[in-house]
Structure 1
Amino acid sequence: MKAKPINANHVIDNSKFQSYHFWLVFWMFLVIAFDGYDVVIYGASVPSLIKEWGISDVMAGAIGSYTVIGTALGAIMFGMAADKWGRKNIIILTTLIFSFFTLLTGFANGPVTFTLFRVIAGIGLGGVMPNVIALTTEFAPKRIRSAVVSFVFCGYSVGAIMAALTSRSLLPTAGWEPVFWLAGIPLSFLPFMIKMIPESIGFLIENGKVEKVKDILNKLDSSIDKKTVIQMEKQQVKAPGSPVTKLFEEKRALSTLMFWISCFSAFVLIYSMNTWLPRLMMQSGYDLSSSLTFTAVMQVGAIAGTIIFGRLVDKWGFKRVLVPLFFCGAIALSLIGFTKSTILAFIYISVIGASSVGVQNLSNAFVSQYYPFSMRSTALGSTMAFGRMGGIVAPTFVGFLLSINLMPQYNFAAIATAAIIGGFAMLFVQEQHGNYQKERNAVHQKKLEIAK
């Protein structure tokens, strides 16, 4: 009797969280931690760079914007490339790029060289994130998928906290250069990542590497051996033309646009805060050391928000969590400029962290589950590429606000408008057309047919 084929997707979906998952999550968490470290060290070093090179607030903002242009290019370029070359390969390559060029940034002798290295590093940073999301989503057990993806992206905030604390220790004594040199640490663990990170199951099957698929699945289910017949859920045949256009088909057009706008808004919040929070808090009367503490507190809020609300989205759904979070961020940003209490300021900053970095972490999980496997990397890459346009605009815009010497309240209120726009955009995402909802409907329909 011929053995019944085993569906690779079902094996992964129904697997228990075990050591194989742990090591994947560990390495993905570590990569994203250095992503967060890289982004925050620029904001922490901006006051030192302005003082050393005599550049203006607008120029400092422009350097931040140029860097984000690199991340936008990397997001869409490597997001689509992963569907052809494999997610593991792209993660390794992009980690190499952003680590090496951030390390070189610490040797820059002027704004031009500094900006060039930052832009190239940004290309790597933009490419690594969507592929980490996609690979984590693919291998996480279905019942805890959102929580696992959200946890991995807590690494961003952990890295950002380390950046704030490292900068606080090194900037007054050693200068800004060593802060960038430390970003080269991921180069040392690339050989371990090459050995231990699995390639996408879908990519391996599409390229006829079924034996490698069996080896991976055997680590999740020991009953699978060399004789097992493996199959994937049937994927749509890829039509000619740009894969991005597929995101607008099958009633997904409105949701795709709303994802892009909400991501744009989230990145305005993230890059406004990451680039300028120390300077904004110094404008409000705090010294540099205290201002860097606010950066760390914001990331603590992001971690807490991601973990707590990551569990809630599995129970309540994404929109019921993300929409209120955006609006809470707008309220906190509007109030922080008026408070003179450090404790209240810490609370507001924590809420801002949860409703900016935290919201984006959860939104990434939302996008990765909304689209079918065949276009997941493209969806994440294009969404984050569009979103990073907000990151391009934000540093220069806030730099301009600082240059015209507005009161701190007005600067924070201007940033808060992004949270309001993001909340309304998320409100119009049509969950009923998402891939995960279609899967649930199919399962429900099957149960009804069996009951009959």
Structure 2
Amino acid sequence: MATINPETVIANSKFNKFHLLVFIWCFIAIASDGFDIAVYGLGLPQMMSDFEITPATAGAIGSYAMMGMMIGTFVLGTMTDVIGRKRVLAICLVIIGLFNFLAGFAPNETVFVIFRFIASIGMGGLMPAVISLMAEYSPRKNRAMIVALMYCGYSIGTIGASLLGIYFLEYLSWRLFFWVSIFTVVITPFFLKQFPESISFHLARGNKEKIADILNRATGTDKYSAADEYAIPDTASVEKGLPFKKIFSERKALSTIMFWIAVISCLLMISGLGTWLPNIMQESGYGVSSAMIFTMTLAVGQMSGSLAGGYMVDKIGHRNVLLTLLGTGAAAFVLLSLTGSTVLLFVLIAVAGACTAGSQNLINPYITMFYPSDIRGSGLSIAVGMGRIGSITGPLLIGWVLMTNMPAQLSFLGFALPCITAFCALLFVQEQYGTEVQKGRFRKVKEAAAV
């Protein structure tokens, strides 16, 4: 009997309602993540007044949340290859919704920090699970674009939070933002019922019936059954052991470290902008509504960068697209610190969004497809977990800058350095040692049979 590689079957499938279902749930999950990360920055000016805290303290609170995300990425993220990505994602949705909801009732900054920290643990674990599942269940032909479209959910969540702020923040409390987060708890039972578990998880446990069901749904056929043999040949040669050890095996050590540096740099920029952009623009003389519009512009730029980058990946490869975005981003941040034109500010902030979050959104699937399928979740989780160092330092650094007497707009200049750092790190990634090469051409995986 021929052995079927389920990964190859899904990679060669055509997009249908099964893929759409996976996409919709991943989109919703990542949109909720974008919303919950944005609400802190949007409500920060009003929260600082209510709690009577300084910019340095506000930056520290944002960093505490990022510490929670770091813990969540390492603990929950690495659990994806142990208890299943679906279960981890469900746990994350409940933690995010419940504890952000409770944070909206906090009487002071101490209680707020506790609830926000716990919620952030769920936010940290969500991203690796979503990325791994979407990459695993996307047809190879348009995988980069599907993942890029999914990432637009993050920006949609940010835009939703911004619209809520524009229309309601001046009349209602910042707490409303956090109360809305209970939505993720409400949808979790429906998610558990409809969403498929990872193929690699079922394969490791010999769940042939579930593998056959997923393959039939993915291909729109009924030719797969529990009587078939299933295996992913490229994982057989991977060294046994802890995921942390395996991501350094087979000449992947240098690339792994370079991925970490690039992700640290990107997340520093994303967290710094997400936390402080509304405040920076208000300090620069713009009103509350205008500051919210700047945040929406940033989110539109993030979507544009993800979509344009996802399209170009199939043409020129992940690394070439990333180098272009990061180089452009460095120039945009320098110009942002100098210009006095409102129109140019909007354009440059959109470019900054495209080059920061857009870059991170493309680095994630780049990392995912670099590692073998049995450690993809762990490889990405550890990279993003290390990247939380950037998330933690970003809000702190900008908070300290805003405590000085220098013009708030000059703080944009500090974002150019991580852009250049990430650019240099990606130059040293050794693609020849990855599971799949880039530039739209995939290495032919040795398999017993492709059915």
Superposed displacement of residue 236, structure 1:
3.4
Q: Which residue of 2 aligns with 1:449?
A: none
Output the amino acid matched with 2:404. I
Contact kept, 8 Å, 1:24 with 1:197, in 2: the verdict is yes
Q: Which residue of 1 aligns with 2:75?
A: 77
Superposed displacement of residue 5, structure 1:
3.3
Partners of 2:314 and 2:114 in 1: how far apart?
42
Superposed displacement of residue 242, structure 1:
3.4
Q: Is 1:226 the equivalent of 2:225?
A: yes
Contact kept, 8 Å, 1:37 with 1:162, in 2: the verdict is yes
Superposed displacement of residue 274, structure 1:
0.3
Q: Which residue of 2 aligns with 1:193?
A: 191
Give unmatched runs, 5+ long, in structure 2.
none
State which drifts further: 70-79 or 435-444.
435-444
Paired-residue identity, %: 37
**What are the superposed Cα offsets for residues 385-404 of structure 1, whole Å, 9 maximum, x if unpaired?**
11111010010111000001
Q: Which residue of 2 aligns with 1:392?
A: 392
Partners of 2:155 and 2:237 in 1: how far apart?
38
Counterpart pick for 2:155 among 147, 154, 157: 157
Output the amino acid matched with 2:55. D
Aligned-partner SS, 2:15: coil
Structure 2 counterparts to residues 130-149 of structure 1, below 5 A: 130-149=128-147
Counterpart pick for 1:5 among 3, 6, 10: 3
Partners of 2:379 and 2:406 in 1: how far apart?
39
Contact kept, 8 Å, 1:6 with 1:228, in 2: the verdict is no
Partners of 1:185 and 1:306 in 2: how far apart?
26
Q: Is 1:33 the equivalent of 2:31?
A: yes
Q: Is 1:248 the equivalent of 2:248?
A: yes
Q: Which residue of 1 aligns with 2:444?
A: 443
Q: Is 1:339 the equivalent of 2:348?
A: no
Q: Which residue of 2 aligns with 1:170?
A: 168
Output the amino acid matched with 1:26. I
**What are the superposed Cα offsets for residues 21-78 of structure 1, whole Å, 9 maximum, x if unpaired?**
0011001000000100000100011100111111000000000000000001111111
Do the aligned partners of residues 201 and 241 (structure 1) sit closer, same or farther apart at CA in structure 2, a change above 3 Å counting? Answer: closer
Output the amino acid matched with 1:155. G
Do the aligned partners of residues 163 and 442 (structure 1) sit closer, same or farther apart at CA in structure 2, a change above 3 Å counting? Answer: closer
Counterpart pick for 1:59 among 57, 60, 70: 57
Contact kept, 8 Å, 1:170 with 1:179, in 2: the verdict is no
Superposed displacement of residue 445, structure 1:
10
Paired residues in the alignment total 444
Q: Which residue of 2 aligns with 1:317?
A: 317
Partners of 1:81 and 1:443 in 2: how far apart?
29
Q: Which residue of 2 aligns with 1:128?
A: 126
Q: Which residue of 2 aligns with 1:268?
A: 268
Aligned-partner SS, 1:185: helix
Aligned-partner SS, 1:437: coil
Superposed displacement of residue 199, structure 1:
0.4
Root mean square deviation, CA, Å:
1.8
Output the amino acid matched with 2:232. E
Q: Which residue of 2 aligns with 1:111?
A: 109
Q: Which residue of 1 aligns with 2:404?
A: 404
Partners of 2:302 and 2:442 in 1: how far apart?
33
Partners of 2:416 and 2:203 in 1: how far apart?
46
Partners of 2:224 and 2:422 in 1: how far apart?
48
Aligned-partner SS, 2:251: coil
Partners of 1:272 and 1:390 in 2: how far apart?
9
Do the aligned partners of residues 304 and 442 (structure 1) sit closer, same or farther apart at CA in structure 2, a change above 3 Å counting? Answer: closer
Output the amino acid matched with 1:127. G
State which drifts further: 21-30 or 187-196.
187-196
Superposed displacement of residue 320, structure 1:
0.7
Superposed displacement of residue 130, structure 1:
0.2
**What are the superposed Cα offsets for residues 293-333 of structure 1, whole Å, 9 maximum, x if unpaired?**
10000010110110111010111111111012112111111
Contact kept, 8 Å, 2:96 with 2:184, in 1: the verdict is no
Q: Which residue of 1 aligns with 2:89?
A: 91
Do the aligned partners of residues 408 and 334 (structure 1) sit closer, same or farther apart at CA in structure 2, a change above 3 Å counting? Answer: farther
Contact kept, 8 Å, 1:259 with 1:367, in 2: the verdict is yes
Give unmatched runs, 5+ long, in structure 1.
447-452
Partners of 1:390 and 1:149 in 2: how far apart?
23
Output the amino acid matched with 1:152. M
Q: Is 1:382 the equivalent of 2:369?
A: no
Partners of 1:175 and 1:58 in 2: how far apart?
22
Bigger share in helix: 1
Superposed displacement of residue 226, structure 1:
3.0
Output the amino acid matched with 1:141. P
**What are the superposed Cα offsets for residues 342-361 of structure 1, whole Å, 9 maximum, x if unpaired?**
21111100110001111111
Contact kept, 8 Å, 2:38 with 2:158, in 1: the verdict is yes
Partners of 2:318 and 2:437 in 1: how far apart?
12
TM-score, normalised on structure 2? Answer: 0.95
Do the aligned partners of residues 418 and 442 (structure 1) sit closer, same or farther apart at CA in structure 2, a change above 3 Å counting? Answer: closer
Do the aligned partners of residues 335 and 78 (structure 1) sit closer, same or farther apart at CA in structure 2, a change above 3 Å counting? Answer: same
Superposed displacement of residue 210, structure 1:
0.8
Partners of 1:8 and 1:441 in 2: how far apart?
16
Superposed displacement of residue 10, structure 1:
1.8
Superposed displacement of residue 220, structure 1:
2.1
Q: Which residue of 1 aligns with 2:426?
A: 426
Do the aligned partners of residues 349 and 441 (structure 1) sit closer, same or farther apart at CA in structure 2, a change above 3 Å counting? Answer: closer
Counterpart pick for 2:212 among 208, 214, 225: 214
Partners of 1:205 and 1:223 in 2: how far apart?
19
Aligned-partner SS, 1:443: coil
Superposed displacement of residue 241, structure 1:
4.9
Do the aligned partners of residues 400 and 20 (structure 1) sit closer, same or farther apart at CA in structure 2, a change above 3 Å counting? Answer: same
Superposed displacement of residue 441, structure 1:
7.5
Contact kept, 8 Å, 1:67 with 1:119, in 2: the verdict is yes
Q: Which residue of 1 aligns with 2:289?
A: 289
Output the amino acid matched with 2:198. S
Partners of 1:95 and 1:445 in 2: how far apart?
37
Do the aligned partners of residues 6 and 242 (structure 1) sit closer, same or farther apart at CA in structure 2, a change above 3 Å counting? Answer: closer
